[in-house]
Amino acid sequence: MSSINSLILGRAKYLPPSSISQVVFRSLKLVFSKFLLSIGLLFLLSACSDNNNTVEIKLGHGLDTQHPVHLGMQYMADKLVRLSNGEMKIDIYPNQQLGSERQTLELLQIGSVGMTKVSAAVLENFAPNVKVLSLPYIFINKDHAHRVMDSDIGRDLLTESERFWLRGLTFYDAGSRSYYSIDKPILSPDDLVGMKIRVQPSVTAMSMVRAMGGAPTPIAWGELYTALQQGVVDGAENNPPSFYYSRHYEVARYFSLNEHTWVPDVLMISTHLWDRLTKQQQKWLQQAADASAIEQRKLWAIANQDALAAVKAAGVEVIYPDKKPFADAVQDLLNTYTQEPQVYQYIQRIREVAND
């Protein structure tokens, strides 16, 4: 500090008294900024290794600890410890402890969080071509969606965001998304007219709801229960486990399984962290992620059945509407992607998988 004092006082003696305080303030501000930067760098380093040289990775997500996607990530964490013989470990922070999906992606971009799980619908804001996974009725069923995720198409999409410091490791099954509502069942697109429907912060999701006649309303997941309760929105759309674990069924008493999308969740890692790992550490982590995706699909199938049974037992009216009117309503929307050659190329590749 003596050298800093000398610098400040040395500059100050050549200035009029009125300017001395300004010099001192600016100099102290510069010193404090450098101090905070140093502390920040130390924090980032401590997030990656402890005193025993064990690589510790922070993973933040927004789901409940009972959710099958969380359980899949816990399986990955346990698998990684075994594969690496304790050299690597993952600390999981659920329930938005580290922020919303968009916020955690931004933290990955600057390297202050190592990993996260996000919906592909949110990821499209960072990697535009990923929007193809959120297009309505792009997948004909669950098997088609899984085959696409497991193919070269899925692998190509996982690396779409690398230039934005985000790397995909694997896809998690998030099932099909359908509408749920408070005051009336949704039997066809006509029922959506005039209804405010909560959607993820995704242009594709908003365009879909609008094409079907509804008014898309982006709201953070953690705020949706209150929004439904207070009538800010008339309904939302999601998969059965999320509908159940969020307790939204306590407010929304109609669940219409029109299955308009099969948007997967994506396990992401910051490229700042990935590039610091050794080749062997990358291999262990990728193996653990791949194994967890297989396990998570099994967990999802069970959770999906259990969630539907639970909400029915709670008095929710579960409806199985004709899907064709919903699919017909979005055909013009799908046709607009001929103007986006890269996205349209993905659409064609996905359709080819359906025909195999």
CA 265 to chain centre: 6
The position carrying tokens 């996982």 is 158
CB 257 within 8 A of CB 96: no
Do 92 and 169 sit in the same domain of this protein? Answer: yes
Which CATH number goes with the domain that contains 67? 3.40.190.170
Q: For residues 259 and 158, is the Cβ–Cβ distance under 8 A?
A: no
Q: Looking at the whole model, is its pTM more than 0.85?
A: no
pLDDT tens, residue order, the chain (356 aa): 443 344 333 434 333 444 434 433 344 443 333 333 333 443 443 345 555 689 999 999 999 999 999 999 999 999 999 999 999 999 999 999 999 999 999 999 999 999 999 999 999 999 999 999 999 999 999 999 999 999 999 999 999 999 999 999 999 999 999 999 999 999 999 999 999 999 998 899 999 999 999 999 999 888 999 999 999 999 999 999 999 999 999 999 999 999 999 999 999 999 999 999 999 999 999 999 999 999 999 999 999 999 999 999 999 999 999 999 999 999 999 999 999 999 999 999 999 999 88
DSSP state of 15: S
Who contacts 15 (Cβ-Cβ below 8 Å, separation ≥6)? 23
207 and 148 assigned to the same domain: no
Q: Are residues 140 and 288 in the same domain?
A: yes
Q: What angle do CA 157, 77, 275 make, to 5 degrees?
A: 50
Q: Which of 211, 189, 191, 209 is nearest to 325 (CA)?
A: 189
Measured CA to CA, the distance from residue 66 to residue 95 in angstroms comes to 11
Compute the distance between CA of residue 356 and CA of residue 347 in angstroms, rounded to an integer: 15
- Beta partners for 166? 270
Give yes or no: residues 187 and 273 share one domain.
no
Structure tokens at 44: 């980032």
Instruction: Clarify whether residues 310 and 256 are in a common domain.
Output: yes
CB 68 within 8 A of CB 300: yes
Reduce the secondary structure of 43-71 to three states and give it as a string: HHHHCCECCCCCEEEEEECCCCCCCHHHH
Measured CA distances, 247 to 208, 243, 307 (Å)? 25, 6, 11
Q: Are 27 and 170 members of one domain? A: no
Q: Are residues 188 and 234 in the same domain?
A: yes
DSSP conformation class of 327: H
Burial class (CB in 10 A: 0-12, 13-18, 19+), 73: buried
Query: Are 156 and 219 part of one and the same domain?
Result: no
Instruction: Mark whether 221 and 252 lie in a shared domain.
Output: yes
Supply the pLDDT for residue 188. Answer: 98
**Strand 177-181 vs strand 254-261: parallel, antiparallel, or unpaired?**
antiparallel
CA torsion 247→250→255→260, rounded to 10°? -40
Tell me: do 220 and 125 sit in the same domain.
no
Looking at the structure, do residues 170 and 299 belong to the same domain, yes or no? yes
> Considering its fold, how many domains does the chain have in total?
3
Length of the chain: 356
- What pairing do the DSSP bridges indicate for beta strands 235-238 and 88-93? unpaired
Q: Are residues 148 and 289 in the same domain?
A: yes
Q: In what order do the strands lie in the sheet with 254-261?
A: 215-218, 196-199, 235-238, 177-181, 254-261, 317-319
Domain around 214: 177-263+306-355
Residue with tokens 């919303």: 100
